[in-house]
Structure 1
Amino acid sequence: MSDNYAASFSINQPGRDAGILPVNQPGRDTSTSEQSHTEPSANGGSTVSTRENVRPGVSYLAGRLEFEPSIASKLDALITEFRDGKSTKGNTVFEAYDFVNSFPGGTPETRKFALSEFLSTIDSVEILADAARRCGDRAQIGLNHADTTATPRIEYTANAPNDNALIQAASQIGSKRARSEALSDADVGPGRENDMDYRSGEKRAKLTTADLPWHSEALAARQDGRVSCQATQDLLYRYERDPGWVRRQVIISGVAPPTIPPGEWDAIFRGTPVNLDAVFSSVHHVLPPKEDVGRVGSTEIRFSNPEPSKRIQTANDWTTAWDDVSEATAIAFPHRARELKEYGSYIRSEFSAKMPSSHRKIILYDIAIRNFVQGGQRHLLTDFHLFSRFHSAIVAPDGVVSGSGSGTKPGSSSRGRAGGRKIDGSKSEVCHRFNDVGRTCPFSTASCRYIHSCKGCGSTGHGQRDCVQSGRDSRSTS
């Protein structure tokens, strides 16, 4: 490369009258237009070619640089090998760097700038090839787009300071690919139209919603479904992209109820039922709830939700927990605010219609309903006509799971101590402290887990120590 080499080329700048005219290159027809085409590859895909339809001896870089034929032919050969898959990008760049620096003559600025243009061309070939392979578009579309978005280039002379050109070009290797990823229409699914993380440029094929066997049925259900359910599904798809990040943001925002544990926020954003016991345990907790969470960098691994320290036993307990849960759910799904309010009123009316001893059944009834509705993807909490079977099975005395609300532990006897009679459907054992002399039960009739009834006659108005029907007043015995 001679010292006059830098003066033998100039950078074309669209829309600008260049002050330095390029030196004509032997064998080049400057009136010949550029043309792109795709060539079939060995694996059945398409390989993008940036070969210009010009006469022999013209460089791939003809639109950017005017090279001496010996330099142009060598760089063209390297680009062709890279385009055809015969050489990796790293090897191609290394060979070009070694060739440019070993060429006799020339200034360091000239070598750096020539290598920078070569790297830019290699990067363009890679971007267009990847876009054509993913989208199935022809290279002409990509080249037309590249022509319209090309950045202006300044005129170069041998005396211009350009020491950092090679460093800047090297730092851009591979960076344009991530910014120029073409979006595949096959990836489009409900809630994932713009999910860039989902459409990462990995070589392994990604599953899409269209690949799932229930895709067509799900689309039909969305079209025929209610507006509230459709809105819920759209938000769930959005939260599903990064539920951990969404949870952290809502906690930081300051609008969330402080009694909702992180694990229950995850349940809300995933469309699964919330554990009211866990929320109720956080209302008056002294220490923060313990979480079995492992962290690897920014990734959280949740092994299991901690066991709640308290259980909902009464209507007041349920109301306390539900008010916070409904508020949190309405933050994540604003369109469900009215539904949540109506459901809360419905369960409260069920509590008021039953004796306090039967409230445990209403609590189980609520759990069954929320397990059925889930996050509101298909049904609503106000679809009361769908809950009749749960009411019959749990609340009704002859329900198949009516005994689940009795408060007895698995394996314990359901037979009461008052002559084997079961005084109430929810409790079976008589309270000893309520009956024995010198002892007093600290709990009320509703809150005590045992029956406040007489061991002798079975009446609920007094204990055995005050029983007259049994023929003795237990308070007078020593």
Structure 2
Amino acid sequence: MSGNGDESTAAPTPPGLEGQPEVAKKCADIVQQFRDGKVSKAVASTKIMQAVPTAFVEGSSGERGAQAYLEILDIVEKELAAAAERGRGRGGQEGIGPRSRSPSPPHGGYDGSDRRGDSRSPSPNEGDEFGGVPPRSPPPYDRRGRAGHRGRSRSPWDGDVRGSGSKRQRVDDSLLPWVVEDFIVERQLSAELQRTRLLLMEFRKDPKYVLGSILDSTRHISFPESEWTAIIKGQSIDLNKVISHQFSILHDRRQSESLGDGVQLVFGSSAPTKAITTQSDWITAWARATEALLLVFPHRRRELDAYRQYITDLFASSGEHVHERVILLDRKLRNEVSGRRDLELSDFAQFGHWERSFLSDHGAGLLESKPKAKGLSGRGAGGSSVAGGGSGSRKSLEPCKRFNEERCPTSKAQCRYTHICSRCRRGHPVAKCDRPSAVPE
């Protein structure tokens, strides 16, 4: 057998078969045999029930594990049937079904010319739209986030795009190990996580349209457009931009133009940045961010309220000199959660190692955020830094650039640079200096 069988072993253990990796592997191999046309569905179902010791015991863990694999068989059957129907509709091509599949070529899948010179079957994702797919499964979208456009499919159940004339070789999603893994893992996610994941999949079809719909809504709050975009894409919100937007009297005139392939041209002026430096700053910005998040994800109220209480408790239980670390921890946790689809901000049990990393004096996260030697400014994501405070640190007499831009996150005593005007060297930012800018040298 080709690498198909090997990849099936990468699937995680489904609910009910924890601690029985051999049984899970055997069931996954049986599913692959059915996919390859080596056994019928009836035979595969029987083998799965026989492979799981307690499959016939009602309410047992074995019954749940076997049911997960039987549902996978149903999906594979419907996908292959839909692919066969599509093949018959294209002029009597040779039959396509579970028994006509041969080992796939490298990269698996079809080229754009729709050649059928060999006997391999199409990938399961070539079935009719949503055929045999559970209601919670994501709709199809391409790399630009729009359904029905050319480009590599990002959804295992994407419709056929060959009619659009694309010559790009399709990826055979049946060979991607995470296709089956996602089906098993998502059954263990909370209802809120499943809902969030489904909405993000929907937004990715046309993020520009979703953004426009939000901005045109009568319920949307005043919020930075860049952070609305971050919410739509499932990214973390920059609270520095939120609080800057809330208190700024300047207009953000920045405009952007996408050049494709992830390249974006940004031009125009932008409002000065204010950084989150205190507990009060964080609470103010987080309240605003919560309003925006709940507009897009109303089901996340419990999660967001719990996270607010978690961070507030960290502030309350720490001295003010540690509050900068709490702010750094908050940023790290939100980045971590936004980068995953199986974690919520209320999963505090998963945050222990990050707490040690950022709140401990010798934590790796805290040390990494401190300014480096020889001219590094120590800016992290969002412009925050944690000034040394160690016995070996020396204060520079050079005016602090961020203080003059009114966005230095550290106090006068802790900052490595001197909080003085870069023009007159008095104790105010340059924006408040009454001395003429054209000063003779």
Structure whose CA Rg is larger: 1
User: What TM-score do you get using the length of structure 1 for normalisation?
Assistant: 0.46
